[in-house]
Amino acid sequence: MFEKLEHLEAKYEEITRLISDPEILADTAKYQKHAKAHSDLTPVVEKFRQYKQVKTGIADARQMILDSHSEEDLRKLAQEELAHLEERLASVEADLKVLLIPKDPNDEKNVLLEIRAGTGGDEATLFAQELFRMYSRYAESQGWRIEIVSSSASGVGGLKEVIAMIEGKSVYSKLKYESGVHRVQRVPATEASGRVHTSAVTVAVLPEADAVEIQISEKDLRIDTFCSSGPGGQSVNTTYSAVRITHLPTNLWVSCQDEKSQIKNKAKALRVLRSRLYDIALEEQRNAIAQDRKSQVGSGDRSEKIRTYNFPQNRLTDHRIGLTLHQLDRIMEGNITDVIDGLVTHFQAEKLKNEVAVGS
């Protein structure tokens, strides 16, 4: 581990020199590339330097304890300092191990959030709408920008489906574990007998693909236009502004009708299509890597129930990590930081265990 850290520190120092080079400063593309690499390395290099400082402090404290010329009071202070530094060393080593876990290359990306009502009829659509509100409020608290790409309302004011793009800093790193089946248990407003019903909503979080990562050929696309439906006024409902794009090789299709402009709707639809194709490619890659083991760490498996929202007991339970919080009312208002942090910490620890197992 420490050989790797020495190598990273040397690389960091070389990049630090490069980003001060007038030639690099004059080339925007090169400068941005080096600046990003410098930024990525900074946390681990700073932590490694802390580690070396603590090691030096430990050596000095031990020398003072062994030094026969030191006064008793000084030796006592050195023993106290040694105990403190050894405790600090263990903490810094643990931080370094986490920082050395290979990063998900998608962590900094924007995401495509897709929420669909599942079993439960009207009640499922109402919960889909509430989940979208929850994620929207959380996004606002993080300073992210959220934009609806397409949505389909139910007759009771819920959402059959909503697709939205969320843009901002490290969006995927925080939302990637939200993919899966979300189950709700509560008494529906339409239930006269007061019985608790169970409904389900599916959530998918897809990293947005760059054009260079997923190249789509025009010959592989069929583009249909049609009149938008729903609210929007005469100009929306009477012009062919809505767009449906079908990717012929995979038969995937995406439609968008939120904008008055056909060009804008097409651009939005292409972003969604590119992200879905990227997700398929990622899933194929994961399956190839994990075909001989059952680990689901970081896979975003959507086939099983991941969370239950129990309204009568004001309780949220995440079944993957055994987390239970009796503050569902706050969570539904977008206060999901404790849930997000719990998931990130858990899966980070799982990845660290896997790294240790592979290395041993």
Are 320 and 355 in the same domain?
yes
CATH number (domain holding residue 134) = 3.30.70.1660
Domain that residue 19 falls in: 2-99
Tell me if 105 is assigned to some domain: no
Same domain for 335 and 258? no
Same structural domain for residues 124 and 250? no
CB 248 within 8 A of CB 220: yes
Average pLDDT over all residues of the chain: 84
CA distances, 13 to each of 34, 100, 158 (Å): 12, 18, 55
- Name residues whose C-beta falls within 8 Å of residue 50's C-beta, 6 or more positions apart in sequence: 92
Task: Examine the domain organization and report whether 224 and 245 are in the same domain.
Answer: yes
Q: What is d(CA 234, CA 257) in angstroms, rounded to the nearest whole number? A: 14
Chain centroid to Cα 308, Å, comes to 20
Mean pLDDT value across residues 304-327: 94
**CATH number, domain at 229?**
3.30.160.20
Residue 105's pLDDT is: 80
Token reading at 54: 């603590």
Q: Highest-confidence range of 14-18, 39-43, 239-243, by mean pLDDT? A: 14-18
Burial group, residue 328, by CB count within 10 angstroms (0-12, 13-18, 19+) = buried
CB atoms within 10 A of CB 71: 9
Answer yes or no: are the C-beta atoms of 307 and 316 closer than 8 Å. Answer: yes
pLDDT digits (tens, 9 = 90+) for 156-183: 999 999 999 999 998 999 999 999 999 9
Beta partners for residue 167, in sequence order: 145
Confidence band, pLDDT 50/70/90 cuts, at residue 235: very low
Q: Shortest CA distance to 244 belongs to which of 220, 219, 218, 270?
A: 270
**Same domain, residue pair 67 and 34:** yes
DSSP 125-171: HHHHHHHHHHHHHHHHHTT-EEEEEEEEE-TTS-EEEEEEEEESTTH
At residue 167, the pLDDT reads 94
* Number of domain units in the chain: 3
- Is pLDDT of 297 > 70? no
pTM for the full predicted model: 0.66
238 within a domain of the structure (yes/no):
yes
- Whether residues 336 and 268 share a domain: the answer is no
**Edge-to-edge, what's the strand order for the sheet holding 145-153?**
145-153, 159-167, 111-117, 197-207, 180-186, 305-310, 315-318, 323-325
CB 229 within 8 A of CB 214: no
